[in-house]
Every structure is written in structure tokens, then in C-alpha cells.
Amino acid sequence: MTGRGRRDEKGSITLEMIVALPAMFGLFFICVQAGLVHHARQVVIAAANQGAFAAAAEYGTGPDGAAAATSFLDQVGDGALTDWSVNATRNATTVRVRITARSYSILPGFQPEVSAVASAPAETLTGSVTP
């Protein structure tokens, strides 16, 4: 009788693997993609902060902030981002740097966009300084 029970289950492990392996691979690729997007987001946030710090300096300008953010992305972002755009503005009181980029993707047809905005108060001299 035991031989008969085993014959009824012949090939069941193959069927289970046909169903389970694609699901496991899909879950693995989704986790890796989530890690790539998270890393890209962190790089974009750091670049926006670098740009805001540069533009907020006493004699800094919006283009200084954009140049600092772009330089940071050139050095660090190539491993995480496919393309990016940087917009930096400065007025009398605040600096604002906005970066929009695309993360690398291992999933076909999926090109996630990440963005960050950093702002800081603009440094200005107030009052008079006498030596």
C-alpha cells in the first residue's frame, strides 16, 4: 500500500517548484529594487543638502548651490542614478535646492523617480562691525 501512495504523488515536487520558484525570484527582485530606490533617494537627499549649504553661504548664489549638488551627484550618483536635474534658487532669506532623478532599475518597464528638496536660511551680515 505504501508504494501506491507514493505513486500518486509522483512529480508533485516539480509542480511545487514551478509555482514556488518564480514567486521567490519575484520577491527577491522586488526587495533588491526597493534597496536600489532607497539608496538613490539617500544620494539625492545628500546632494540637495550639499547644494543648500553651498548656496546658503554668505556670498553663495543659486548657481553655486546647483554646481555643488551637481558635483556631488557626479561623484556619488553614477552608481545609483541614471539621470538627474538640479534647480537651486536663493532669495534674501532662504535657499531652496530641488533635485529630481531616476533610479536604476532591475525590473523591466519600471523606471522609478526620486526627488528631494532642501532649504536653508541664507547667511547675511546684519548690523555694523567696528574693529
Q: Domain spans of the chain?
A: 12-121
CB 53 within 8 A of CB 88: no
**pLDDT attached to residue 31:** 94
**pLDDT attached to residue 4:** 52
* Torsion sign, CA atoms 53, 57, 63, 64: negative
Domain 12-121 of CATH type 3.40.50: no
**pLDDT attached to residue 126:** 76
DSSP state for residue 120 in the 8-state scheme: E
C-alpha cell at 29: 527582485
Q: Can you tell me the distance from the alpha carbon of 85 to that of 120, in angstroms, rounded to the nearest whole number? A: 19
**pLDDT attached to residue 109:** 84
The low-confidence residues of the chain, meaning pLDDT below 50, are 1
pTM of the model: 0.79
**pLDDT attached to residue 131:** 64
> Helix 12-56 and helix 62-76: axis angle, to 10°?
150
Centre a 10 Å sphere on the Cβ of residue 131 and count the other Cβ atoms it contains. Answer: 2
**pLDDT attached to residue 1:** 47
